[in-house]
Amino acid sequence: MPLAKIQTSAELAEDKKEELLSAVSAALSEATGKPETYVMVSLTTGPMLMGGKPGPAAFVDVKSIGGMDGPTNRNISEKFCAILGEKLGIAGDRVYLNFTDMASDSWGWNGSTFG
């Protein structure tokens, strides 16, 4: 049920996309304590401005049912910024993250909801 949606302006070779998604998936599972079998990660690319300037940047929208609190969110921010820096060359000050703790009845899966 944890979800990380990554939007970035950084160019990434097709063969490196799965590597990035796998790293983010494992980090999100570890940080939230949720099984990776429930983690979803998506990636979209396109033009972005940050601070009115073009260049490599990223926005990551992170959602989960439970497991989202101040220490966890800071841990995720640290891990994701490190991964985006390593895999895409994006400086941490060019990354925004948004965290949402979802109610279980607001998250659908397999023809039903978690709550």
- Annotated catalytic sites, by residue? 2
Query: Taking the CA of residue 90 as centre, how many other CA atoms within 13 Å lie in the half-sphere pointing to its CB?
Result: 30
Q: Are 79 and 31 in contact (CB under 8 A)?
A: yes
62 contacts 100 by C-beta, under 8 angstroms: yes
Angle at 65 between CA 59 and CA 70, to 5 degrees: 60
